[in-house]
Structure 1
Amino acid sequence: MSFSFCMSGLVLLYWVWLGVSRSVTAASPPPHIVLIVADDFGWNDVGYHGSEIRTPNLDKLSAHGVRLDSYYVQPVCTPSRSQLLSGRYQIHTGLQHMTIRPCQPNCHPLGDKLLPQLLNETGYVTHLVGKWHLGMYKQDCLPTRRGFETFFGYLNCSEDYYTHEMCYYKKALNTTYCALDLLDGEVPTSDYRMKYSTHIFTERAVDLIANHNLEKPLFLYLAYQAVHEPMQVPEKYTEPYTFIQDNNRRVYAGMVSALDEAVGNVTDALIKQGLWDNIVFIFTTDNGGQTQAGGSNWPLRGRKITAWEGGVRGVGFVTSPLLKQKGVTSKELIQISDWLPTLVNLAGGSTNSTKPLDGFDVWKTISEGSPSPRVELLHNIDPIFKDILPFFSSQTNIYLSKIILLSPFAGCGNWSPSSSISSEILSPDPVNKTLWLFDIIRDPEERHDLSDKYPHVVKKLLSRLEFYYNDSVPVYFPEDDPRCDPRHSGVWGPWE
């Protein structure tokens, strides 16, 4: 049996194709690593989960690799990207609360060594294409100062797919700041206006692959804007989806199709350049789908920003000729913070110079089907926002327990069969309910509360949550800095 649980008033949340198999030996060259991150990609937005959206490239790639069925991410952008690149929970970085806003003097702590820095030390060429969203108030926060040799993309949460402008409403001043958010290296560029972001990011990725020196290992972090709002896509991608009645879902489906096509183009480039025979290819979402913007997590409960399964159980897979098992679905517990130690060790590097990690090396779990080294995972603890409070997941053998501490308004605990608000299946819970316990393995849809039946499990999880809370650092969530105003320069970027 396995469980999940929720209560009131404390804090925030806390679970090949082409080519022959090849063994990793001491004499083997380090593998090329391509890590693709989709933004706001929902559980029910990929074909192999039964979606009406067509994703032939993702389906084929994952079918020849390992699909991750019990893979957990964070419910919003900054925490997921922070954990992915640092291998550390945000309770240890001060980034527990929501995302980094455009005008906040904040970024992922500069004292942390990030994944590209560690791969640099082992001889990798490192590139970031797409979204950063880990802070940019001063030059030292930029991705080119954090281990990436090149950067082509945007710094904030989202932008217009064509103009590449990002608008930010400052409530205190009742003013909206709009400015260009697209950099090539550390230089703003307006050369791509009216060019769709999924296309320009793919073109840059393909160019980097085509010009890569084969004598060096490649690390390409390709963080697409797709399929985050705003709802924008060339019309040709929505034409196959006239059967979808809801406009948001139809446009969203087109955005997913454009993303799937992009993944196929990147894969083709890797094969053409001769990198595929020694590749570790990873696809992941950063959080669950936003059901209010066309995404779907059905049949999971909840959406982006929540710690229900729909917000934190992520679509993810690994494809590689290095895998000893292929064409399988892993149900072992894996979390987004596990990528750093897994990839650094696979690259022949060392994590000895990092601060204590919360991630685990899960390569044997993925490649060989070994049990996960994880026995539990923490989503987050946020003592600031009273409407988003602690979640804790724990797994031992067949047991998966999840603890959720929320204010009396649990927020978005509905089930959404489609993106139409009118179709939502409302939570049956009373408005003042604050604690749930679910059997996540037998009840992944979180429909049957067992907290009254298993109080000893509740008590055990609360004690683990207290342990993590006592080990956490204070939240750092500064007020907006008025010096961030981009209107004089017309571009977003460092102001200190």
Structure 2
Amino acid sequence: MASIIRTRSFVLLLSSAALLIIYLAFERYFWRVAPVVSALSGGAAGVGFQPSRNPRRPPHIVFILADDYGFNDIGYRNPAMRTPNLDYLAAEGIKLDNYYVQPICTPSRAQLMSGKYQIHTGLQHSIIWPPQPNCLPLDLPTLPQKLKEAGYATHMAGKWHLGFYKKECWPTNRGFDSFLGILLGKGDHFLHTEEGGGGPYPSTWPWEGLDFRDGLQSTNAYSGIYSTHVIAERVENIIEKHDKDKPLFLYVSFQAVHTPLQVPESYLQPFESSIQDEKRRIYAGMTYCMDEAVGNITKKLKKQGLWDDTVLVFSSDNGGNIDQGASNWPLRGSKTTLWEGGVRAVGFVTSPLLSERMKGTVSRELIDISDWYPTLIEGVAGWTLSGTKLDGYNIWETLRSGKPSARVELLHNIDPLITPPSTWPNDSIAAAHNSFSTRTYAALRYKDWKIVTGYQSINNGWYSPAESSEQSVASEILPGKSVWLFNITRDPREFHDLSNQEPAIVNFLLERLESYQSGASPVLYPDIDTKANPAGHGGIWDSWE
């Protein structure tokens, strides 16, 4: 009898120990996964994104960034552009109709990677030019670094343009497990070389070198292969080899449709009769090729069984360059400007996890490219950003259920290094306000209102695409004019300047600009360094510190 009691006691002890182990394991698993499930389920079934198909991990994330892609250059806005894959994905998801980026490359990419306005990263002036010893500040945790903390595999293919003067600035040292692409802002799409010209360069310095990297290593293995094809093929290979039980973050940063205007001849054929303008025709071919690449990537996701558990975001990095074949019609302005044509972007979100209620909808909530940082980290990945000071908003509930975004204000930029000519008179409105000089190049959106200040020197009109019968409209800036006010909701084309009629609103928005300016970081825009010359690095653009 005693023996039986001892045996039963031993069994009970083992059972208790086993239960304790199971409990501890479950508790550890629950606290790791519960935030993800909560963020994805949102309580009500059938509303917004559904929980991940795989409860062991958050969804995969694919972020596709097009370069210099015009507002009017996607098929669902302009049938002259052939983008069947992008059109289909957008129709299955949420089109973002009130979505903003920066007017040039580096600032947009910095906001995506950091969740901060460029006035808080020091990158509020121009771009990072190849010979400048500058990069996205190294003390800022990047989007892929935070997603790695959440357990993601992180891969990038395409254009970086966030600095490379020392290797600590490079993508694989900023959170990406792998990188294939260019470090600079542009380059030959076939040869993958780039000339060092423009910006702060003396025009007499014809620097040129190879700019293509696989990880930290320079490579010319892709010479002669079109950049869009190289990027798409690398992404497809990553998808094919990926363990679908591990969450995947893919940053697909196409070099298209940035200059130089180059594309394989076969992509020009659909536009030979419909688009006579050569630049516009090549641009359309580049867009068509990029669309095909996006289609191939989504097909591979489906083939490998990842698509049903993927959230895909598509965005442009800035408005299209109207001097190089792009169109932002009917919006005002172009790339580099603070008009809507420079900052209002093509953007959409799509996913099989999206509920039927949200599919095929158009969101008119105010959204900025900096919002993707907290949205993807907290909303999709379920990872905490507690204590992190950001300018971006987590818009997960806006995407999940159509809830109004918390964002009511958006700073387009304040650039103190762009100033009017000394002969430019003072604006009469500026004389009445001392809080913020309207000679400062800046723009801010608050609810329906947008204020633009400073010297607007180029591309101030409305430019119709070459294939359109509509006429472009020029805009002459009167001497001394340096402040504009628009009701963007009613007047998205920025035709009607209300700055004289609404002095109280002008004053309020100038005070908001002053508040932002008082908290801005110093501008990081160093002089060029001759040690960057590729001639000193075997004909390769490389780090030099």
Q: Structure 2: which amino acid aligns with 1:445? A: R
Q: After superposition, what is the alpha-carbon deviation per residue over 1:57-111, rounded to whole angstroms, capped at 9, x for unaligned?
A: 0000000000000000000000000000100011111111010000000000000
4+ runs deviating over 6 angstroms: none
Instruction: Tell me the residue number matched to 2:244.
Output: 214
Q: Does 1:121 align with 2:121?
A: no
Q: 1:22 to 1:352 in 2, by over 3 A?
A: closer
Instruction: Tell me the residue number matched to 2:35.
Output: none
Report if the CA contact (8 A) 1:97-1:384 is conserved.
Answer: yes
Distance in 2 between the 1:429 and 1:78 partners? 28
Matches within 5 A, 1:9-20: none
Q: Structure 1 residue 420: deviation in Å?
A: 9.4
Q: Structure 1 residue 449: deviation in Å?
A: 1.0
Instruction: Tell me the residue number matched to 1:363.
Output: 396
Q: After superposition, what is the alpha-carbon deviation per residue over 1:346-390, rounded to whole angstroms, capped at 9, x for unaligned?
A: 202122364x10000001112211101101000111111215711
Q: Does 1:411 align with 2:458?
A: yes
Residue from 506, 513, 519 that aligns with 1:458? 506
| Local SS of the residue matching 1:432 | coil
Matches within 5 A, 1:15-94: 23-24=50-51, 27=55, 29-94=57-122
Q: 1:196 to 1:112 in 2, by over 3 A?
A: same
Report if the CA contact (8 A) 2:460-2:476 is conserved.
Answer: no
Farther off after superposition, 418-427 or 271-280: 418-427
Q: Structure 1 residue 455: deviation in Å?
A: 1.0
Q: 1:298 to 1:336 in 2, by over 3 A?
A: same
Q: Structure 2: which amino acid aligns with 1:69? A: D
Q: Structure 1 residue 282: deviation in Å?
A: 0.5
Matches within 5 A, 1:303-342: 303-324=334-355, 325-342=358-375
Instruction: Tell me the residue number matched to 2:186.
Output: 158
Farther off after superposition, 321-330 or 386-395: 386-395
Q: Structure 1 residue 432: deviation in Å?
A: 3.3
Instruction: Tell me the residue number matched to 1:11.
Output: none
Q: Structure 1: which amino acid aligns with 2:535? A: R
Distance in 2 between the 1:155 and 1:364 partners? 35
Distance in 2 between the 1:21 and 1:353 partners? 27
Instruction: Tell me the residue number matched to 1:393.
Output: 445
Higher relative helix content: 2
Distance in 2 between the 1:171 and 1:340 partners? 33
Distance in 2 between the 1:22 and 1:377 partners? 26
Q: Structure 1: which amino acid aligns with 2:417? A: I
- Identity among equivalent positions (%) equals 51
Instruction: Tell me the residue number matched to 1:348.
Output: 382
Distance in 2 between the 1:365 and 1:267 partners? 24
Q: 1:209 to 1:353 in 2, by over 3 A?
A: farther
Please, what TM-score do these two structures have when normalized by structure 2? 0.84
Distance in 2 between the 1:219 and 1:139 partners? 22
Report if the CA contact (8 A) 1:155-1:181 is conserved.
Answer: yes
Matches within 5 A, 1:242-321: 242=272, 243-321=274-352
Greater C-alpha radius of gyration:
2
| Local SS of the residue matching 2:180 | strand
Name stretches of at least 5 consecutive residues in structure 1 with no aligned partner: 1-19
Number of paired residues?
Answer: 471
| Local SS of the residue matching 1:206 | helix
Report if the CA contact (8 A) 1:44-1:51 is conserved.
Answer: no
Distance in 1 between the 2:453 and 2:462 partners? 19
Cα RMSD (Å):
1.9
Distance in 1 between the 2:225 and 2:133 partners? 31
| Local SS of the residue matching 2:485 | coil
| Local SS of the residue matching 1:270 | helix
Distance in 2 between the 1:260 and 1:425 partners? 30
Report if the CA contact (8 A) 1:68-1:330 is conserved.
Answer: yes
Q: 1:431 to 1:55 in 2, by over 3 A?
A: farther
Report if the CA contact (8 A) 1:338-1:359 is conserved.
Answer: yes
| Local SS of the residue matching 1:257 | helix
Q: After superposition, what is the alpha-carbon deviation per residue over 1:214-254, rounded to whole angstroms, capped at 9, x for unaligned?
A: 12000000000000000000111111112211110001000
Report if the CA contact (8 A) 1:293-1:419 is conserved.
Answer: no
Q: After superposition, what is the alpha-carbon deviation per residue over 1:451-489, rounded to whole angstroms, capped at 9, x for unaligned?
A: 111111111101111110011111010000111111131
Residue from 162, 176, 193 that aligns with 2:206? 176
Residue from 469, 476, 479 that aligns with 2:524? 476
| Local SS of the residue matching 1:418 | coil
Q: Structure 1: which amino acid aligns with 2:396? A: W
Q: Structure 2: which amino acid aligns with 1:267? A: T
Report if the CA contact (8 A) 2:68-2:335 is conserved.
Answer: yes
Q: Structure 1 residue 424: deviation in Å?
A: 3.5
Report if the CA contact (8 A) 1:291-1:419 is conserved.
Answer: no
Report if the CA contact (8 A) 2:158-2:252 is conserved.
Answer: yes
Report if the CA contact (8 A) 2:48-2:400 is conserved.
Answer: no
Q: Does 1:381 align with 2:414?
A: yes
